[in-house]
Chain A
């Protein structure tokens, strides 16, 4: 049985507000298994991005944890001090955002930014860091990586910038990769290419991946395990196949229905409902 790389255990919390605390997470529990791709699905405001921020301890200051822990490799991230957190971010856990170009510093070249992240966590010389940066760019299938490394973020297209972001997240070879809506905002073809890339990278390095998205199509294509979040509560946890063919929770069923991605299955109770397979 694979041991969990990261486990969220009964996590509850609220945001401080002028009208009193606003509960946003209620006893959220799930595990990210080593070497597998887990998808966290939910609508806007369900708390999925907040959970990923909590994993890295970069949540807004107005958030108060009322209960629960997040254990990364056995250590509770809430008990880590600043130095440990800084060592963890980037080197142990990498994160990729939705808007890649906004997440890149506009005044430095891509190569410089990648080399900076590398030198932050490893003792390498500038020349070595540069070589590692160019290698990272080639691993994410960016053609002419040496020339691209000298370019600035505004010279990259959306898909290219997303690849650069993935390269930046992976450059220090982290154990866990979190992708926060990585393909939202990209066109369908680029989306497919990025997902292929993520799948390939996960397989080749045995990476544990956590994919946060509202797009069930992406989840169906890439994820092995799924966590369904709604309103700060975990509605259902299960393998991809189980969730898509035999969803137990009513919210999950409504979600699948709305996205028209229910797979026809003669044993499923969904057979009577409107069933369509869409591409």
Chain B
């Protein structure tokens, strides 16, 4: 307390001991602050380490698959069909003689790509409309929420199927459909967060210095809501992975015969009863791994930032 009084009456030159103390306690640079807190989060959370590690592996596989796979994932009729896993074919071959490992690796591009793209689009759209609905309220809020309820009243896969049948197959369409399905979660979360923080003093203070409504909503309120949204995004990505694979399993949206985990499970399921387990098993493990990685990342992030889920 005595130090504070010194500060109040006598500026910097005489405040040396206080300055040294606070310099020791405060990290000097802002970007290092960010790195420092990221390292702390990783150190504290086992889930987060596992999640990031696994995601990293998938990413490496994805990048490598763009340049090289052991065998051509789309070459039909070249190899010997239904070989069990061995040194030459790590995951064995399927009914058409294609190497299962190469196909699983190639499918990473499709599944992970669609998941990441769809989650990003859903995040941006959902957060934007959620903030608008939460901050402005009134008729806009009512309109957005009623639309959302209409969207959410359909079973997810059914809705996806209907939309894809309507707009045609192809990867961009699938991304769009999955993004639209994912929007409600982000929208509700962003809206709830903004609603709860709307009355906080700093929001009123921002208005009192002359900020307009849009500025307050997006520049002042939204940055305070990012933690739950990021945690949700990660766990949502796990769910989206499974949705994408399910769509492939049903055979909606993807070219028949294309390398995609869900489609591979579907094509291999008849062989399982005959004892050729590897055709469906390895794509399944791939889905499990990716979804699990996203989930653990989100879980770890929630724990690290102290969020209740």
Contact = CB atoms under 8 A, between A and B. Distances in A.
Contacts of B5: 189, 193
B156 interface: no
Contacts of A120: 209-211, 215
Contact of B201 (A56, A102, A107): A102
A59 to B, nearest CB: 11
Interface stretch (A2-10, A88-96, A207-215, A252-260): A88-96
A105 B30 contact: no
B22 to A, nearest CB: 8
A21 interface: no
Contact of A90 (B201, B209, B219, B220): B209
Interface in A97-129: 97, 99, 102-109, 116-117, 120-121
B7 interface: yes
Contacts of B200: 102
A151 interface: yes
A67 interface: no
Contacts of B23: 147
A272 interface: no
B30 A95 contact: no
B19 A144 contact: yes
B4 A190 contact: yes
A189 B212 contact: no
A189 B7 contact: no
B206 interface: yes
A269 interface: no
Interface in A137-175: 141, 143-144, 147, 150-151, 155, 157, 159, 168-169
A233 B18 CA distance: 48
Contacts of A97: 201, 205
A129 to B, nearest CB: 14
Contact of B8 (A89, A106, A147, A159): A159
A95 B205 CA distance: 8
B204 interface: yes
Contacts, number: 85
Contacts of A150: 29-30
Contacts of A159: 4, 8
A147 B19 CA distance: 10
Contacts of B204: 58, 103
Given A91-B210, A108-B223, A120-B211, A193 B201 contact: no
Contacts of A104: 202, 205
A114 to B, nearest CB: 10
Contacts of B223: 105, 107-108
Contacts of A90: 208-210
* B15, B205, B212, B224: most-surrounded residue (chain A CB, <10 A): B205
B100 to A, nearest CB: 48
B12 interface: yes
A87 interface: yes
B19 A143 contact: yes
Interface of A: 56, 58, 82, 86-91, 94-95, 97, 99, 102-109, 116-117, 120-121, 141, 143-144, 147, 150-151, 155, 157, 159, 168-169, 187, 189-190, 193, 196
28 contacts: A58-B208, A82-B212, A86-B211, A89-B208, A89-B210, A90-B208, A91-B210, A97-B205, A102-B202, A105-B220, A109-B30, A117-B209, A120-B209, A121-B210, A141-B7, A143-B12, A143-B18, A144-B12, A147-B23, A147-B28, A159-B4, A189-B1, A189-B4, A189-B5, A189-B8, A190-B4, A190-B8, A193-B8
Interface of B: 1, 4-5, 7-9, 11-12, 15, 18-19, 23, 26, 28-30, 200-202, 204-212, 215, 219-220, 223-224
